[in-house]
Structure 1
Amino acid sequence: MHSLPVFLRLTGRPVILLGNGEAAEAKRRLLERAGATIVGEDSEARLAIVALDGLEPVVARLKARGILVNAVDRPDLCDFTLPAIVDRNPVLVAIGTGGSSAGLAAALRQRMEVLLSPKLGELAMLLHDAREKIRQAFPDSAERRLAIARALMPGGVLDLDDPFEEDPFWIDDLQQGADWGLAIIRLCSPDPDELTLKQARLLGQADRIFHRADVPAAILDRARADAVRIACDAPPDAPGPGLSLDISMGNE
């Protein structure tokens, strides 16, 4: 992973923007949408965006002051890049290519716009407003996370693929779910791009991953970052609560 994606709250904060023309105006519109205060080069700020010809000296001056810089069309000079964004407020999906191709990021954004429901933001607010009720129903944080994951998965009470309609009893329905147990994945290839859709979905949902030593790291990287990885020689007898995966190569 070449960069760490982060979401910065810029409301009321100064950001230096230098340049003219459409490239600079596009960045201005983006900063204004984020609530930033746009300032000049001599102002105090932590971030700067530079859209100028012959920008190297300006970038050098800004970096000498400890300012993180985005140099438009110069990824080699960038401390950060600006992603293509799918906005379902408060849900944001950011797509980055490390500055290699803004066109590719834009094309991916257009595909994501079609895939993601326009009501996704309403669903996020529903979950936000119900946080205290969910905590009361599931005092244990691990059980709470599992219940929400069950609700959002295909066929769940908050299935992302279904038209969203608020059900006043959906929190009660969360408590009907049972522990998921252990799922088995036998890999036909060490290439993560050859995972089936079901295997990729299980990797994204699992709480812990039991795996043989020869399972490639590239496969394990497709799992949730917070999922526990446990190397073992055989499937576990007691995998624990939630969803566990046992992964091995298909020749086992």
Structure 2
Amino acid sequence: MIETLPLFHRISNAPVLVLGEGDGADAKRRLVERAGGVVVDDLDAAAGQGARLAFIAHEEEARAQADAARARAAGMLVNAMDRPALCDFTVPSILERSPVLVAVGTGGASAGLAKQLRLRLEALLPQTLGGLALALKVGRGALRKRFPDSGERRRALDAALAAGGALDPLVDGEGDARFSRWIAAPDAGEGGLAEITLRSDDPEDLTLREARLLGTADTVLAAPAIPAAILARVRADAVRGELLPDTSPEVPASGLVVVLRRALSA
């Protein structure tokens, strides 16, 4: 189970309350302005303007608690710097390849850990990643025309964006040119029937191929008592069903069906 629900919140031209002094408060102001928000430094004014987010960056504990309570009573979600117990939301470490954003959070456990993870990811994600995202956005019409069926369209994109695929996001290259070459002769992606026999209940024991199959399947049929941790690897919009004992699934005419079984010793 995840402890917090990660969301991307649009605040362009919206008022955002930021209270406090010093480097921490200044950092929150810069963050709000970077996202296009309007910094408001008075709680009553922010409430009157309909602010929905509040950053509290006071050094004094009592003052932070009081203003956090006031902001929350005014209908705002609160982030109190260095005080996880007072927070309705936390701020992740952000890696930007606009319009791609990667947010790394630890639920307030360690901002330093989030930062170091983000720095590692910086070295992996090419600067051209944003251009690829924009090419995919602009090319939606061409993609729909090429693949009218939504399932076939998703499978083609999955194949192209996978490691080693024509649109592998970790490969540096101009997004427009790569998309144009791919859409001219795309791979329809993997379909049919695949079976996975679990060696253990630990999702870390899945092979890379098995994890990819679970993440791209249109339908997943699971034998009884398959652990929730394994099923969490299935894409959220996949159709799920139970595989009854002594039954054999039918091979689909289209799409990818994955069957999950348990080994006798699992």
Q: Distance in 2 between matches of 1:219 and 1:178?
A: 23
Q: Distance in 2 between matches of 1:15 and 1:100?
A: 24
Aligned counterpart for 2:56 among listed residues 28, 37, 50: 50
Deviations 1:156-190, CA, capped at 9 Å, x for gaps:
2212343324143321222x425521222111110
Q: Distance in 2 between matches of 1:178 and 1:193?
A: 25
Give, as a single letter, the amino acid of the residue that structure 2 aligns with 1:74.
R
Structure 1 partner of 2:184: 172
Deviations 1:61-85, CA, capped at 9 Å, x for gaps:
1111111111111111111111111
For residue 125 of structure 1, report the CA deviation from its aligned partner. Answer: 0.8
Q: Distance in 1 between matches of 2:120 and 2:248?
A: 39
Using the size of structure 2 for normalisation, the TM-score is 0.88
Give, as a single letter, the amino acid of the residue that structure 2 aligns with 1:172.
A
Structure 2 partner of 1:185: 196
Where does the alignment leave 5 or more consecutive residues of structure 1 unmatched?
A: none
Structure 2 partner of 1:5: 6
Question: Pairwise CA RMSD of aligned residues?
Answer: 1.8
Give, as a single letter, the amino acid of the residue that structure 2 aligns with 1:39.
V
2:185 match: secondary structure: helix
2:224 match: secondary structure: coil
Structure 2 partner of 1:216: 227
Give, as a single letter, the amino acid of the residue that structure 1 aligns with 2:134.
M
Structure 1 partner of 2:260: 247
Contact residue 158 and residue 164 of structure 1 kept, 8 A: no
For residue 244 of structure 1, report the CA deviation from its aligned partner. Answer: 2.2
Alignment pair present for 1:38 and 2:39 = yes
Give, as a single letter, the amino acid of the residue that structure 2 aligns with 1:149.
D
Aligned counterpart for 1:144 among listed residues 137, 143, 153: 153
Structure 1 runs of 4+ with >4 Å offset: none
Give, as a single letter, the amino acid of the residue that structure 2 aligns with 1:211.
A
Deviations 1:125-178, CA, capped at 9 Å, x for gaps:
11011111111112222222222112111332212343324143321222x425
For residue 12 of structure 1, report the CA deviation from its aligned partner. Answer: 0.5
Structure 2 partner of 1:22: 23
Q: Distance in 1 between matches of 2:256 and 2:99?
A: 28
Q: Distance in 2 between matches of 1:115 and 1:178?
A: 25
Q: Distance in 2 between matches of 1:69 and 1:240?
A: 51
Contact residue 187 and residue 247 of structure 1 kept, 8 A: yes
Structure 1 residues 240 and 46, CA gap change in structure 2 (3 angstroms): farther
Structure 1 residues 193 and 131, CA gap change in structure 2 (3 angstroms): same
Structure 1 residues 240 and 7, CA gap change in structure 2 (3 angstroms): farther
Q: Distance in 1 between matches of 2:252 and 2:5?
A: 31
Decide which moves more: 146-155 or 208-217.
146-155
Deviations 1:185-230, CA, capped at 9 Å, x for gaps:
1111101223222222222222221111121011101221112221
Contact residue 204 and residue 222 of structure 1 kept, 8 A: yes
Structure 2 partner of 1:120: 129
Q: How does 1:79-90 map to 2 (within 5 A)?
A: 79-90=88-99
For residue 110 of structure 1, report the CA deviation from its aligned partner. Answer: 1.5
For residue 50 of structure 1, report the CA deviation from its aligned partner. Answer: 0.4
Identical-residue share of aligned pairs (%): 49
Structure 2 partner of 1:100: 109
Structure 1 partner of 2:251: 238
Q: Distance in 2 between matches of 1:85 and 1:207?
A: 31
Q: Distance in 2 between matches of 1:97 and 1:195?
A: 25
Aligned residues between the structures: 251
Where does the alignment leave 5 or more consecutive residues of structure 2 unmatched?
A: none
Q: Distance in 2 between matches of 1:160 and 1:235?
A: 37
